[in-house]
Amino acid sequence: MAAALQVKNLSKTYITNKRQNNVLKNINFTIEAGEMVAIMGPSGSGKSTLLYSVSGMDRPTAGEVMLAGKEITSLNEKGLAQVRLNDMGFIFQQMHMLKNLSIIDNILLPAYQSDKNHRTKQEINAYCKELMHKLGISEIAENDITEVSGGQLQRACICRSLMNQPAILFADEPTGALNRGASEEVMGELMRLNEEGTTIMLVSHDLKVAAKCSRILYIVDGNIKGELKLPRQGQALKEQADEKSIIRERERKVNNWLNDMGW
């Protein structure tokens, strides 16, 4: 399987009041195409810094990031912006959307800004409607962002993140601002996208979210301390009838492993 993301000797250091803070220390990992990988760890361990550094939202102090075989850390700001627009999708805990645009216009915006695939406006609009239909939010297309639920808004953010058919989705606490019901809905959509082949790297403190992933990396003090591999949940559910039992067993396994990691 091809590598979607390769991270080599990644380090991030901040200087505060003339003191050096090594947030990331020679991080190495690979995410294969089609994987869904969770980054976990205690508060202040470097989870979000890692996601921002590998996605080009922040520059690492040292190391390399290869996106689909292309080294991106050496790109200038314009080059990084183009990579983020065309080859990456982003989902955050806080669902940032422009207040003066409708839901559908917010989703369409990154595709109109991109020249990837040289699609016509009609093709872009059709793809947007297809995504909204798949994620069950077609009926809120013309709504303002204040007229929808948190779960609907996050699904709209997922649609927006997919508009340019990115090589990888980055998600930072994608269910952190949602209630349990909406969280399950959003994770169900991310799992379905992953089953269809979308590569996902997400940061989460939620055991139930992490248990839906195929791999978990545990970071402490800027180092990856451990790794847990799990069978793809979607495939496991197809092969066995007792869905609740499978989910409970995965969550139990993740919980025991996290306790071993010092969670």
Contacts of residue 70, defined as CB under 8 A and 6 or more positions apart, other chains included, come to: none
Q: How far is CA 134 from the centre of its chain?
A: 19
Domain count, the chain: 1
Identify the domain containing residue 190 by its residue range. 3-261
Rounded Cα gap, residues 16 and 208, in angstroms: 35
Per-residue pLDDT, 238: 56
Q: Are 40 and 219 in contact (CB under 8 A)?
A: yes
Rounded Cα gap, residues 203 and 14, in angstroms: 21
The answer to whether residue 132 scores a pLDDT higher than 70 is: yes
At residue 60, φ and ψ (nearest 5 deg) are -70, 160
Per-residue pLDDT, 117: 74
CA angle 21, 27, 30 (to 5 degrees): 155
Per-residue pLDDT of 144-153, as tens digits, reads: 999 999 999 9
Residue 89: both structure tokens together: 């999708």
The answer to whether residue 67 scores a pLDDT higher than 90 is: yes
Average pLDDT, the chain: 92
Residue 251: pLDDT band with limits 50, 70, 90? very high
Per-residue pLDDT, 241: 56
Start-to-end CA distance of the chain, whole Å, equals: 31
Q: How far is CA 16 from the centre of its chain?
A: 29
Residue 164: both structure tokens together: 């340019």
Per-residue pLDDT, 204: 94
Contacts of residue 230, defined as CB under 8 A and 6 or more positions apart, other chains included, come to: 211, 213, 214, 215, 216, 250, 253, 254
Q: Are 230 and 214 in contact (CB under 8 A)?
A: yes
CATH number of the domain enclosing 157: 3.40.50.300
Per-residue pLDDT, 237: 56
Residue 203: both structure tokens together: 């940061």
The answer to whether residue 23 scores a pLDDT higher than 80 is: yes
Per-residue pLDDT of 221-244, as tens digits, reads: 999 999 999 988 765 555 555 678
Q: Give the sheet arrangement for strand 36-40, strand by strand.
A: 88-92, 168-172, 200-203, 36-40, 215-220, 223-229
Report pTM: 0.92
Residue 2: pLDDT band with limits 50, 70, 90? confident
15-19, 82-86, 221-225: least confident range: 15-19
Per-residue pLDDT of 105-126, as tens digits, reads: 999 999 999 988 789 999 999 9
